[in-house]
Amino acid sequence: MRLSGSIPNLSALQDLKQLGLEKNKLSGVIPQSLSELKNIYVIYLGENKLEGALPANLGGPQQVNLMYVDVRGNNVTGTLSPQKHYTC
């Protein structure tokens, strides 16, 4: 079973360490709420139908633990901090 639709606001999940939503049928933009997850280590969003710009603060100084973001296989634009490992 694959998930479809948009990614909901996840900002209430402050203890979330890993987000694995790869290989689904998610569409729309990556929500700004992902940049509010202060304890997240990895975000897997590859191989969906996401589009648009990455959230401006994703991987910013408030996300010191974030080490890996995978958005390959989507139509996403933008850049992230070069100190972290990202797959676009």
Q: In the chain, how long is the greatest CA-to-CA distance? A: 36
Residue 25 in tokens: 């049928």
Give the pTM: 0.89
Please report, for residues 21, 31, 38, 81, the alpha-carbon distance to residue 8 in angstroms, rounded to integers and kept in the order given: 12, 7, 17, 24
Please report, for residues 6, 27, 38, 49, the alpha-carbon distance to residue 84 in angstroms, rounded to integers and kept in the order given: 26, 25, 15, 24
Is the pLDDT score of 26 beyond 80?
Answer: yes
Contact at 8 Å (CB) between 34 and 43? yes
Mean pLDDT within 44-54? 97
Mean pLDDT within 27-46? 96
The pair phi, psi for residue 64, each rounded to 5°, is: -65, -25
pLDDT of 83: 62
